[in-house]
């Protein structure tokens, strides 16, 4: 590997490492600080938060960003070897980088599909890592002069060379120790036996910090009846919004626990706020083409006691959702046979929710009000649980 190629590879690896580290930091802040706002949250589409709070951002509770940082750290060490190592080792480095970058390329193709197609959200830091991987792949592919079939044999030989170099061995051990300690230290959601993410209880310090932030938030009066509930949770929702689906899945077990432990004390009210100019003309542009139809479909399905099933179908079929498929699902899942006849009158009710949302300053979904405390995005599940617990504890004092 030429020294120039090694420097280019090293630059790509360090760029990817920096972006992955920033992504891991952002993910960490979202887990421990409910008031954190990422610098790359530009709008509903360009949003790191939507990506990092999705099911695609972790593997067994470990952020994908950490795995990316480890891969780029390995690429940086290899690139440095391609610049500084003895000629026999430098000859093999492009092959090692090609194998690593090819595997990484497969991963980013999947993550890119999940981001652009399924979540319909763009993460600037993720795009940076994608570019770094592509750069590593191109450089290594252009400079590899050895058959890839010989890579395992060469790796065994070069590992012996590595073991004979105290400096190289120290760097590898230090990198491995750093990776291991970071994985052990990084907070994550606990996984139940079923594999469903469960909220991890915050520490006493995190609980204290959350409560300090939560009580400092203003309370907005809402014209939504609580029907005797101590805690009223109002969610302005878009059934085609990935973050709305994520909060639905994450908060469902928390609300079920509240209902079991405090029957009737917590009430969730869903308000429609489709990000679609067909029914929400206050928007600059349409983000979710099927959202108006989806809102109508759920309302009509509720008249047949099929609202929950309709919601589940919509949230789990966002990737393929179209207005025609929503109408078909309304018939098949919601048992709605008069969708077209009732569409206009039901859409007027949706627009009523939208009008309420505008008076409350809603500018994106989901937006929550917990006893009037406005939450402009998705709280990490453990903090949503803490907010409800706080409201239950202090309900009698208001």
- 3-class DSSP string for 212-262: HHHHCCCECCCCCCCCCCCEEEEEEECCCCHHHHHHHHHHHHHHHHHHHHC
Report the percentage of the chain scoring pLDDT > 90.
53
Confidence of residue 396 (pLDDT cuts 50, 70, 90): low
User: What pTM did the predictor assign?
Assistant: 0.60
Locate tokens 């993460």: which residue? 123
Q: What is the pLDDT of residues 271-306, one digit of tens each?
A: 999 999 999 998 888 888 999 999 999 999 999 999
3-state secondary structure (DSSP) of residue 199: coil
pLDDT for 188 equals 52
Count how many residues are written for the chain: 398
Cα-based distances in Å from 212 to 32, 233, 380, 389, 392: 13, 20, 16, 14, 17
CA distance 144 to 220: 63
Number of H helices, E strands in the chain: 14, 8
- The yes-or-no verdict on residue 194 having pLDDT over 50 is no
3 state SS of 39? coil
Could you give the maximum distance between any two Cα atoms of the chain, in Å? 79
- Phi, psi (5° rounding) for residue 188? -150, 165
Tokens of 110: 């999947």
pLDDT tier at 319, thresholds 50, 70, 90: confident
pLDDT at 155 exceeding the cut of 70: yes
Q: What is the mean pLDDT of residues 368-396?
A: 90
Please tell me whether residue 359 adopts helix, strand or coil conformation.
helix
Q: pLDDT-based confidence at 181, cuts 50/70/90?
A: low
Determine the pLDDT at residue 109: 94
Cα separation, 192 vs 398, whole angstroms: 36
* Residue 100: predicted pLDDT: 93
Q: Where are the beta strands (DSSP E) in the chain?
A: 58-59, 62-63, 190-191, 197-198, 231-237, 266-272, 367-370, 373-375
Asked if pLDDT for residue 15 goes beyond 70, the answer is yes
Alpha-carbon dihedral angle through residues 207, 213, 215, 221, given to the nearest 10 degrees: -130
Answer whether 8's CB lies under 8 Å from 135's CB: yes
- Whether 175 shows a pLDDT value over 80: the answer reads no
pLDDT grade, residue 193 (50/70/90)? Answer: very low
Q: Rounded distance, CA 1 to CA 94, Å?
A: 6
Q: What is the mean pLDDT of residues 63-70?
A: 90
The predicted pLDDT at position 122 comes to: 86
- Let me know: does 352 contact 236? Beta carbons within 8 Å: no
Compute the average pLDDT of residues 124-144: 94
Share of the chain above pLDDT 70, in %: 90
Cβ atoms within 10 Å, residue 317: 19
Lowest mean pLDDT among 16-25, 158-167, 188-197, 301-310: 188-197
The tokens describing 224, both together, are 């939504």
Of 248, 238, 244, the C-alpha closest to 326 is 238
Q: Is the peptide bond before 253 cis (omega within 30 degrees of 0)?
A: no
219 Cβ contact partners less than 8 Å away, ≥ 6 residues apart: 371, 372, 373
d(Cα 324, Cα 344) in Å, to the nearest integer?
16
The pLDDT score that the predictor gives to residue 196 is 44
Cβ atoms of residues 165 and 157 within 8 Å: no
* Residue from 6, 19, 27, 17 nearest 85 by CA: 6
Which residue ranges form the domains of the chain, and what is each CATH number? Answer: 3-188 (1.20.1440.130), 197-397 (3.40.30.10)
């Amino acid at each position: 590997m030429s020294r120039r190629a090694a420097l280019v590879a090293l630059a790509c690896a360090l760029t990817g490492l920096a972006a992955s580290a920033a992504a891991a930091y952002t993910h960490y802040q979202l887990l421990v600080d409910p008031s954190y706002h990422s610098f790359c949250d530009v709008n509903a589409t360009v949003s790191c938060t939507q990506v990092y709070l999705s099911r695609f951002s972790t593997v067994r509770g470990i952020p994908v960003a950490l795995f990316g940082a480890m891969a780029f750290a390995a690429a940086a060490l290899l690139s440095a070897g391609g610049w500084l190592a003895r000629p026999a080792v430098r000859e093999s480095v492009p092959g090692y980088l090609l194998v690593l970058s090819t595997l990484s390329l497969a991963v980013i193709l999947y993550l890119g599909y999940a981001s652009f197609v399924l979540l319909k959200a763009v993460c600037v830091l993720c795009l940076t890592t994608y570019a770094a991987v592509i750069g590593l792949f191109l450089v290594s592919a252009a400079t590899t002069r050895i058959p890839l079939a010989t890579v395992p044999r060469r790796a065994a030989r070069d590992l012996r060379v590595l073991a004979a170099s105290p400096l190289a061995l120290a760097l590898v051990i230090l990198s491995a120790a750093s990776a291991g300690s970071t994985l052990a230290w990084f907070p994550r959601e606990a996984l139940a036996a079923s594999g469903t993410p469960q909220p991890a209880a915050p520490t006493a310090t995190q609980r204290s910090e959350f409560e300090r932030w939560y009580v400092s938030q203003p309370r907005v009066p809402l014209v939504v009846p609580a029907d005797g509930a101590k805690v009223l949770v109002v969610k302005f929702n878009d059934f085609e919004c990935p973050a709305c689906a994520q909060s639905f899945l994450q908060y469902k077990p928390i609300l079920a626990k509240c209902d079991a432990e405090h029957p009737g004390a917590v009430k969730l009210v869903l308000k429609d706020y489709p990000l679609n100019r067909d029914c929400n003309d206050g928007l600059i542009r349409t983000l979710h083409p099927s959202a108006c139809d989806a809102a109508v479909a759920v309302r009509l399905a509720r008249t047949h006691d099929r609202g929950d099933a309709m919601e589940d179908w919509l949230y789990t079929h966002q990737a393929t959702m179209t207005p025609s498929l929503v109408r078909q699902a309304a018939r098949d899942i919601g048992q709605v046979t008069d969708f077209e006849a009732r569409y206009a009158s039901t859409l007027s009710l949706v627009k009523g929710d939208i009008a309420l949302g505008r008076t409350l300053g809603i500018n994106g979904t989901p937006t929550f009000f917990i006893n009037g405390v406005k939450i402009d995005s998705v709280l990490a599940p453990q903090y949503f649980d803490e907010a409800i617990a706080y409201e239950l504890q202090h309900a009698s004092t208001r």
